[in-house]
Amino acid sequence: MDLIEERPFRFRIDPHEGMRVPGVVFASRELLADAERSLDQVVRVATLPGIVTASYAMPDIHWGYGFPIGGVAATDVARGGVVSPGGVGFDISCGVRLLAADCDEAALRPVLLDVMDGLDRAIPRGAGPGGVWRLDGDRELERLLRGGSRFAVERGHGEERDLLRCEDGGAVAEADVTQVGERARQRGLGQVGSLGSANHFLELQRVAAVYDEPAAAAFGIAAGQVCVMIHCGSRGLGHQICTDHVRLMDRAMARYGITVPDRQLACTPVESPEGRAYLGAMAAAANYGRANRQLLSDATRGVFRRAAGIRLSLVYDVSHNLAKIETHAVDGARRQLCVHRKGATRAFPPGHPELPEDIREFGQPVLIPGTLGTASYVLAGVEHGGAFASTCHGAGRTMSRHQAARTVTDGELRARLRRAGIAARPKSWRGLTEETPEAYKDVDAVVAASEGAGLCRRVARLVPLGVVKG
């Protein structure tokens, strides 16, 4: 495949093999090593009906279901543009929440182990059920699917400010609970307020560097401050919704004359009954993910308060697996687009009306979880960032979990974290080896490429003090 380097950190794949638009990849050559399989997916996404401008890939690109993880694509709603569940993925509204503590590392260190032990007991995690909040039947689940974080806050699990610092005010308005199937509901009833497994985590962090002090101050973070980062999504409910609607769209495509080069790209027009059904169910799953992170925040606040008298305030909450109907300029005209972001984070520029008023002038906070024992970042959206105001979402895997577990023993990983002063509370040490840093790209390089490509700017770098994992 010919990759044309247009400028530093930006490569182009010219249309071929049925591509309707070019592929555009933001990365360095080093980050693209062994990425050929993922680049093939960039090419296939470019064949989708109604796609505009380009099939984009972020610096953390790696292979995914249908779309690459790190993929962004927008389709024109009024011109037959499609929505594809593969452009969101199975963990709908997987995202990141950052809380800032009213203390620095020096104040936390004497009570760090007490806090970690408290979190170990308070944070449900692992692949099965067992959330903080057992919902009282289907009606309460439906209220949560409509209300998201607001539903949790109204029931005493948070504060009003939490909703002001959450994407969409804590809830996507277009949720349609009638499109959430029975199996998805069953899976969702027992998992709300749980971390899950795989790469999801709750991490205590220290702000190690601040690059943009006015933005950091507005967001509520400062050098040396303790923060808590929560990375999780919609659990089994979101996974089942994706499964159900991929199946429905796969059967429906022929009615709309749609063929795709990969069945994992199953899609229908946004305005079709199937397209509207998926978007309604996806929004419901997004609200489940928001409520999930809200409940985990509330449980974490309780631990910090009881163990150390420390208060946590929300910096921001943003998803990185979602499709949104947004208005963007295409060929000089404003168009309504269905923007798929899969393993990519929305990064609205300064002044955007959907941003909270108190931080609007600085651009949208973008939260980038790093790898175990390395670093994470707070970024911000910029003017004319491109890719429909999107940027990276993390480090990006380079190894399967099975491969990763073979590179390090649990004893070696335990010793490494201990030497780094990082307190770990995994559900299993064997499972934690699947998330060893060697399994991922260098998050510093990913962020440098994202900033170098003009997609975002750095605000702060955070390093881990303790981690809770499924």
Long-range contacts of 18-21 (CB under 8 A, 24+ apart): 18/47, 18/261, 19/43, 19/46, 19/47, 19/55, 20/46, 20/47, 20/48, 20/49, 20/51, 21/46, 21/51, 21/52, 21/53, 21/54, 21/55
Residues 354, 371: Cα–Cα separation, whole Å = 30
Give the residue among 469, 468, 398 at the shortest CA–CA distance from 431. Answer: 469
Question: Pick the catalytic residue: 231, 239, 393, 402?
Answer: 393
Residues 40, 374: Cα–Cα separation, whole Å = 30
Give the residue among 392, 93, 27, 85 at the shortest CA–CA distance from 262. Answer: 85
Give the residue among 202, 402, 169 at the shortest CA–CA distance from 299. Answer: 202
Tokens of 240: 């089942």
Residues 47, 265: Cα–Cα separation, whole Å = 10
Cα-based angle 336, 54, 57 (whole degrees, multiple of 5): 110
Tokens of 363: 């651009």
Give the residue among 17, 188, 179 at the shortest CA–CA distance from 83. Answer: 179
Please confirm, yes or no, whether 393 is among the known catalytic residues: yes
| Residues 6 or more apart in contact with residue 331 via CB below 8 angstroms | none
224: DSSP letter: T
| Residues 6 or more apart in contact with residue 345 via CB below 8 angstroms | 318, 319, 320, 366, 367, 368, 390, 391, 392, 393
Tokens of 274: 């199937």
Catalytic (active-site) positions: 393
